[in-house]
Chain A
Amino acid sequence: MGLAAYALALVLAPLLPGVVGRTRALMAGRQGAPLLQLYRDLGRLLRKGAVYSRQSTLIFRAGPVVLLAAVALALLLVPPGGGARAAVAFPADLVVFVALLALARFATVLAALDTGSSLEGMGASRELFFAALTEPALLLALVVVARASGHVSLSAMLGGELPAAWARHGVALGLAALALFVAVLAENARVPVDDPATHLELTMIHEVMVLDHSGPDLALIEYAAALKLWATSALVASLVVPVRADAAWLTALVATAGVLGVAVAIGMVESAMARLRLERVPQLLVGAGVLAAFALVLVVAG
């Protein structure tokens, strides 16, 4: 079951940015890009050749590969939803999950710095600053779920005992879900934190770091971003909708619907609010961390 769901996620992931974009477009009264646009983009990029600057080294070429490998590994640990287990599950894999996301970011940042471009250096600096604030929120929110359900593996804590945990620690889990959602927005460079559609290098955070990548490398980066969005959305979906399904096809349906639902929610957030001023972003992220820590206190004390 786990491997089949993993394969499904690998195939369907490029759909997610399309769903988010489509939601934004519909909310704004526009037609929007086709849902399958990212598939076409990936195909087009893969057919092209890559251009490398003479200044860049092996690190620059390795960046996208390490990024995709780390994100694909992280996705292995995520339970698909519908109460099913992930392809790989072991105790304390939630720490490994967060660490793999950090490794992916590390590879991107190194590749960005390797170009020697001042803009990319600036983007890398911002990305790491925000990441340093996002990571505690993400980890704490997951720890709250772990503590509330009594399991330290992602598959187990988001699995069978989650409905009981909601009944016992509903308020704390609600706060944790909120913190997790903010962390997911920040982790995927979505609107209140970063704008994926921005066109000015000075205002970019995440996008500026991949400016020098081209062709297949860019395809790997875009695909990795889609996979990351899928993995983190699946976490939110299985936390918020702890539905158990018995038949395999039903599980797949629930899981996919949950992830797409989170993508629609992200699209709604993006159309409802503007991007925050750069100096206000840390406040949001610290707020999410404090929320998660508060939820942890509630679980421990309650």
Chain B
Amino acid sequence: MTSATSICLILVVLLSVGVLSATRLATSIRLVAAQGVVLGILPPLVLGGRVGLHVVAFAAGAIAIKAVLMPWLLLRAMREAEVRREAEPFIGFSASLLLAGLLAGAAFLLADELPIPAPDAPLLVGSALATLAIGALVMVSRKKAVTQVLGYLLVENGIFLFGQTVAGGMPTLVELGILLDVLVGVFVMGIAIFHINREFDHMSVPELKALRD
């Protein structure tokens, strides 16, 4: 169990918790970037000896998009829109930490029950579920639109992890498609955040809910 894969997987979960508990938006964004790097290293590790050229190329692509391009877009959107630096939570930091711990624990216990074969990395399913759940928690428990994008990215990372359980990885085309989808999503959201901010001088989600036609 004490292999590089396990350490990477636990690191991914801890980084998700870090995104949730960071008080500054920029820190959260950088943590997501760090998670992107770890996720990029993961597929070659999970595959072990069966590493081909396309796996390495895909890993490099994933790192470039998840760890460089998307964080850069978000940081830029944050700067342009002059968002306040604090992550304003609906749920307090200590409470959300406790919730994250509960979710992660439940995810790992649930993963034990699920009949999904993950022969090379026993922690894979649990980490994927935990990252998914914490991503969802980030989405619902923070006020800023930027943090909701971060939650979306965490959820996507969880799905990415889940894809690794499929022996030999998913078809490259599918994975590339997902990556592209997410990139476009973040791109659109970044632009949307900027425009909303310019029109309404704020981008708090509760106030956006009050908008009517």
| Bound-state Cα–Cα, A282 to B17, Å | 16
Question: Least Cβ distance of A161 to chain B in Å?
Answer: 15
Q: Are A302 and B94 in contact (CB under 8 A)?
A: no
B108 interface residue per 8 A CB criterion: yes
Indicate whether A294 sits within 8 Å of B101 (C-beta atoms), given known contacts A301-B111, A301-B126: yes
Interface pick from B2-10, B24-32, B45-53, B205-213: B2-10
Q: Are B122 and A302 in contact (CB under 8 A)?
A: yes
Residues on A with C-beta less than 8 A from B7 are 171
| Bound-state Cα–Cα, A171 to B7, Å | 6
Q: Are B1 and A287 in contact (CB under 8 A)?
A: no
With beta carbons under 8 angstroms apart, the residue of A171, A283, A287 that contacts B6 is: A171
| Bound-state Cα–Cα, A289 to B104, Å | 13
0/1 per residue, A290-302, Cβ < 8 Å to B? 1101100110111
Residues on A with C-beta less than 8 A from B21 are 283, 287
Q: Are A283 and B94 in contact (CB under 8 A)?
A: yes
Question: Least Cβ distance of B109 to chain A in Å?
Answer: 6
Question: Least Cβ distance of B11 to chain A in Å?
Answer: 9
Indicate whether A302 sits within 8 Å of B2 (C-beta atoms), given known contacts A282-B94, A287-B21: no
The total of chain A residues at the interface (CB under 8 A) is 22
| Bound-state Cα–Cα, A12 to B17, Å | 40
B100 interface residue per 8 A CB criterion: yes
A34 interface residue per 8 A CB criterion: no
Question: Least Cβ distance of B127 to chain A in Å?
Answer: 10
| Bound-state Cα–Cα, A300 to B14, Å | 18
The DSSP consensus for interface residues of chain B is helix
Q: Are A287 and B97 in contact (CB under 8 A)?
A: yes
| Bound-state Cα–Cα, A302 to B21, Å | 26
0/1 per residue, A30-63, Cβ < 8 Å to B? 0000000000000000000000000000000000
With beta carbons under 8 angstroms apart, the residue of A168, A294, A300 that contacts B1 is: A168
Residues on A with C-beta less than 8 A from B2 are 166-171
In chain A, what residue has the closest Cβ to B100? A290
Q: Are A297 and B108 in contact (CB under 8 A)?
A: yes
| Bound-state Cα–Cα, A282 to B98, Å | 12
In chain A, what residue has the closest Cβ to B95? A286
A113 interface residue per 8 A CB criterion: no
| Bound-state Cα–Cα, A192 to B109, Å | 33
Question: Least Cβ distance of A140 to chain B in Å?
Answer: 11
Indicate whether A175 sits within 8 Å of B100 (C-beta atoms), given known contacts A282-B94, A283-B93: no
Residues on A with C-beta less than 8 A from B6 are 170-171
Q: Are B17 and A290 in contact (CB under 8 A)?
A: yes
B105 interface residue per 8 A CB criterion: yes
Q: Which residues of B are in contact with A by a Cβ distance under 8 Å? A: 1-2, 6-7, 10, 13-14, 17, 21, 23, 93-94, 97-98, 100-101, 104-105, 108-109, 111-112, 122-123, 126
